[in-house]
């Protein structure tokens, strides 16, 4: 912890570092002051801390405003997804048979000559040459076994070629003890470790521990980067230390060149832990906790998981079926030890047997088994629903509101799909839908954005997209009203619509043009200019107040 590093200005070894980011070292106050002009652009408003409960985590060192970028980071390692059809090992684009360039040194296929020279390809190029026989890929478009180990191999390579990078990778969490014995572990042992030993002839070079450690590092810290289809994997350093929270205060997005951006979804006070959500915040508490336990090996007991009402939203609440009762059922707690399906069950942790859900009005109790059956049935109904059918969505909502709270995650799921669907299917867009549907779109979009603000305020991609839908629905409502009530009623609607659009543009500001949300963000900016023009014209046409 007290390692000496050279002062960035004069290179004198020193223990002192910038207290805000702890990244840059300074021998003296003077040199820190002198360097600030430049450092203020790279200094992040958070520092790395460590404790027994969280391991390493990030803590805000000063007030951070919603929307502020906390940090931007380039990946330590990138590579193809574990299961992938052949992709270019330089840029990760999907390869098509007949449009391929092979690396002259190793035979791996690429999209272009330039990509064969990309430095990220060095590890497998090196080991393929060592192996003494070129790679030859002949099937495209379906998952190919040769790619399963590439990202792990790229990590392993650093041990003998880049000490600093290797140390950073090794400092990341691998959860190897928890992973041992899981199906995924056995799979990795066979398809990654054995492949590295046999195909690359590296059995005397990397042992099982080293390989499995790297598998864990990639599994736990790897991000699937959605800029391309299929997605590729990137492992980041500092971002990996950001802890999970089901009501996180930050979110991650990617730049077009594959860097990651961490930005604040809400205002953050100094001393708060910086968090992101590692799972889908629109899943129910039980599903989120199981997913986190299966994939990240911890049992979440965050504020949201600990509150069965989920900040009063009743996101998991089921309707009481007692005659005449208008109450809702919830269990005492969701934070129970999780039974592992992947490992043999421990008979001592069967805590669910005598769980009951209680009504908040009549205090009636219903066994967990009955509720689970109901949820399973509704879940099955949901997955059997025809896709893209607004009528089916409406039928589901009116049927299931007899069983679920209107804000229940299943209701929210369908409401969200419906809100986005209305207007997308008609050739005329929103202008082609009925007044009823337009009203429904407006109501649903409003309801879900309000819910998101409470439940997952940092989920800015989704909220920004929905606000875009909402602004369009309100503007269309104004247009229709103006047909009967005259053009002046437009002004109120357009002004409201513009306010919502402004918020949408701000929420989507960090999204790259490769993603639909990024394109929506750009469209929002264009629409804003048009609306300003419209508001100006409408205002000018208003009769003078005299
Ligand atoms: Zn100095
Ligand atoms: Zn700093
Ligand atoms: Zn390429
Ligand atoms: Zn090569
Ligand atoms: Zn949680
Ligand atoms: Zn009741």
Nearest ligand for residue 325 CA: 6
509 CA distance to ligand 2 middle (Å)? 25
Question: What is the number of other CB atoms lying within 10 angstroms of the CB of residue 3?
Answer: 7
The answer to whether 410 touches 378, Cβ cutoff 8 Å, is: yes
- The answer to whether 247 and 254 have CB atoms below 8 angstroms apart is no
Which spans in 117-271 are helix H?
122-131, 150-161, 163-170, 176-179, 183-188, 194-198, 208-221
Q: Which ligand is nearest to the CA of 5?
A: 1
Q: Which helix (H) or strand (E) holds 14?
A: strand 13-14
pLDDT score of 342: 46
Looking at the CA of 304, which ligand is closest? Answer: 5
357 CA from centroid of ligand 6 (Å): 11
Structure tokens at 536: 């100006």
Tokens of 317: 């609440």
Task: Compute the distance from residue 64 Cα to the ligand 5 centre, in Å.
Answer: 23
How far is it, in rounded angstroms, from Cα 71 to Cα 68? 9
Distance (Å) from CA 100 to ligand 3 centroid: 10
Q: Distance between CA 509 and CA 516 in Å, rounded? A: 12
Ligand number nearest CA of 40 is 2
Question: Got the DSSP string for 451-465?
Answer: HHHHH-TT-HHHHHH
The torsion angles phi and psi of 331, rounded to 5 degrees, stand at: -75, 170
How far is ligand 4, taken at its centre, from the CA of residue 96, in Å?
18
Q: What separation in angstroms does the CA of 205 have from each of 147, 159, 380, 403? A: 20, 11, 49, 59
What are 523's two structure tokens? 């469209």
Neighbours of ion ligand 6 (CB under 5 A): 320, 322, 325, 327, 359, 361-362, 364
Is residue 522 classed exposed, middle or buried when 0-12, 13-18 and 19+ CB atoms within 10 A define those classes?
middle
pLDDT of residue 366: 96
**Phi, psi angles (nearest 5°) of residue 339:** -80, 125
As a whole number of angstroms, the distance between CA 313 and CA 380 comes to 24
CA 338 to ligand 5 centroid distance, Å: 13
CA dist 471 and 368 (Å) reads: 41
d(Cα 453, Cα 266) in Å, to the nearest integer?
Answer: 9
Residue from 424, 449, 447 nearest 437 by CA: 424
Say which ligand is closest to the CA of 319.
6
**Secondary structure of 336-399 in the HEC alphabet?**
CCCCCCCCCCCHHHCCCCCCEEEECCCCCEEEHHHHHHHHHHHHHHHHCCCCCCHHHHHHHHHH
Cβ(120)–Cβ(157) below 8 Å = no
Point out the ligand nearest to the CA of residue 22.
2
Cα(112) to ligand 3 centroid in Å equals 6
Dist. CA 319 → ligand 6 center (Å): 8
Centroid of ligand 3 to alpha carbon of 152 (angstroms): 20
d(CA 388, CA 417): 8
Q: What is the 3-state secondary structure (H, E, C) of 95-135?
A: CCCCCCEECCCCCCEECCHHHHCCHHHHHHHHHHHHHCCCC
Residue 169 phi, psi dihedral angles, 5° rounding: -65, -45
Distances (CA, A) of 92 to 192, 228, 373: 19, 8, 43
Structural contact between residues 264 and 250, judged by C-beta atoms closer than 8 angstroms: yes
| Helix, strand, coil percentages for the chain (3-state, nearest 5) | 45, 15, 40
* Integer CA distances (angstroms), 128 to 50, 101, 146, 201, 380, in order: 40, 17, 12, 9, 48
Question: In the 8-state DSSP scheme, what is residue 25?
Answer: B
Tokens matching residue 504: 């949408």
Predicted local confidence at residue 544, as pLDDT? 65
Q: Which ligand is nearest to the CA of 321?
A: 6
Please tell me the distance from the alpha carbon of residue 530 to that of residue 541, in angstroms, as a whole number.
17
Q: What is the pTM of this model?
A: 0.86
Write down the pLDDT at residue 367: 95
> How does DSSP classify residue 138?
-
Residue 515 Cα to ligand 5 middle (Å): 27
Q: Where are the beta strands (DSSP E) in 55-105?
A: 55-60, 69-73, 77-80, 101-102
Q: Which ligand is nearest to the CA of 301?
A: 5
Cβ neighbours of 344 (radius 10 Å): 8
**Sheet bearing 250-254, strands edge to edge:** 69-73, 260-264, 250-254
Rounded to the nearest whole angstrom, what is the distance from the C-alpha of residue 102 to the centroid of ligand 4?
8
Q: Residue 1: which of 16, 13, 12, 11 has the closest Cα?
A: 16
β partners of residue 251:
263
CA of 308 from ligand 5 middle (Å) equals 11
Centre of ligand 5 from the C-alpha of residue 304, in Å: 5
Instruction: Evaluate whether 177 touches 212 at the Cβ level (below 8 Å).
Output: no
Ligand nearest to the CA of 71: 2
Q: How far does the centroid of ligand 2 lie from the alpha carbon of residue 19, in Å? A: 6
pLDDT at site 40: 80
- Tens-binned pLDDT, residue by residue, of the chain (546 aa): 467 899 999 999 999 988 777 778 999 999 999 999 888 877 888 888 888 877 889 999 888 999 999 999 999 999 999 999 999 999 999 999 999 999 999 999 999 999 999 999 999 999 999 999 999 999 999 999 999 999 999 999 999 999 999 999 999 999 999 999 899 999 999 999 999 999 999 999 999 999 999 999 999 999 999 999 999 999 999 899 999 999 999 999 999 999 999 999 999 999 999 999 999 999 999 999 999 999 888 999 999 999 999 999 999 999 999 999 999 999 999 988 876 544 444 444 444 556 899 999 999 999 999 999 999 999 999 999 998 999 999 999 999 999 999 999 999 999 999 999 999 987 889 999 999 999 999 999 999 999 999 999 999 999 999 999 999 999 999 999 999 998 888 999 999 999 999 999 999 999 999 999 999 999 999 999 999 999 999 888 877 665
Ligand nearest to the CA of 329: 6
Biggest alpha carbon distance in the chain? 92
Q: Which ligand is the nearest neighbour of the Cα of 86?
A: 3
Ligand approaching nearest to the C-alpha of 365: 6
Spacing, Cα 134 to ligand 4 middle (Å): 9
Q: Is the CB of residue 275 less than 8 Å from the CB of residue 244?
A: yes
């Amino acid at each position: 912890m007290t390692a000496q590093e050279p002062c960035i200005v004069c290179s004198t070894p020193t223990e002192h570092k910038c207290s805000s980011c702890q990244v840059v070292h300074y021998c003296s106050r003077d040199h820190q002051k002198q360097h600030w002009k430049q450092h203020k652009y790279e200094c992040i408003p958070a520092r790395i801390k460590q404790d027994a409960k969280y391991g390493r985590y990030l803590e805000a060192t000063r007030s951070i405003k919603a929307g502020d970028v906390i940090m931007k980071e380039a990946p330590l390692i990138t590579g193809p997804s574990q299961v992938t059809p052949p992709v270019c090992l330089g840029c990760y684009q999907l390869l098509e048979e007949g449009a391929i360039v092979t690396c002259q040194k190793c035979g791996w296929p690429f999209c272009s000559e330039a990509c064969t020279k990309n430095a990220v390809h060095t590890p497998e190029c090196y080991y393929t040459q060592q192996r003494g026989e070129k790679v030859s890929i002949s099937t495209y478009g379906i998952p190919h076994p040769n790619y399963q180990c590439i990202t792990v191999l790229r990590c392993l390579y650093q041990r003998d070629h880049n000490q600093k990078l290797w140390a950073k990778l090794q400092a990341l969490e691998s959860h190897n003890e928890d992973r041992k014995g899981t199906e995924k572990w056995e799979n990795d042992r066979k398809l990654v470790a054995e492949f590295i030993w046999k195909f690359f002839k590296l059995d005397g070079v990397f042992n099982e521990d080293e390989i499995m450690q790297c598998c864990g590092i990639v599994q736990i810290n790897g991000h699937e980067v959605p800029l391309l289809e299929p997605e590729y994997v990137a492992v980041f350093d500092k971002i990996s230390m950001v802890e999970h929270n089901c009501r996180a205060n930050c979110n991650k997005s990617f730049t077009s060149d594959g860097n990651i951006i961490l930005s604040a979804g809400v205002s953050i006070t100094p001393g708060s832990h910086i968090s992101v959500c590692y799972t889908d915040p629109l899943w129910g508490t039980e599903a989120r906790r199981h997913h986190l336990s299966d994939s990240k090996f911890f049992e979440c007991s965050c504020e949201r998981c600990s509150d069965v009402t989920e900040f009063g939203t009743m996101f998991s609440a089921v309707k009481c079926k007692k005659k005449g009762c208008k109450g809702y059922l919830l269990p005492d707690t969701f934070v129970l030890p999780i039974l592992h399906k992947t490992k043999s069950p421990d008979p001592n942790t069967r805590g669910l047997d005598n769980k009951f859900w209680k009504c908040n009005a009549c205090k009636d109790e219903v066994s967990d088994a009955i509720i689970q059956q109901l949820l399973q049935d509704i879940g099955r109904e949901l997955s059997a629903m025809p896709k893209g059918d607004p009528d089916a969505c409406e039928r589901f909502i009116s049927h299931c509101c007899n069983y679920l709270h209107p804000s229940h995650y299943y209701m929210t799921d369908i409401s969200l799909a419906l809100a986005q669907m209305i207007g997308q299917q008609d050739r005329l867009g929103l202008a082609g839908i009925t007044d009823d549907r337009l009203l429904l779109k407006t109501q649903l979009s409003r309801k879900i954005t309000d819910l998101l603000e409470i439940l997952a305020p940092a989920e800015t991609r989704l909220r920004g997209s929905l606000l875009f839908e909402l602004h369009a629905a309100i503007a269309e409502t104004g247009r229709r009203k103006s047909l009967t009530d005259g053009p002046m009623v437009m002004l109120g609607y357009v002004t409201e619509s513009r306010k919502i659009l402004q918020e949408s543009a701000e929420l989507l500001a960090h999204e790259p043009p490769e993603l639909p949300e990024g394109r929506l963000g750009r469209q929002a900016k264009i629409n804003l200019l048009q609306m300003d023009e419209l508001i100006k014209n409408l205002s000018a046409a208003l009769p003078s107040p005299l």
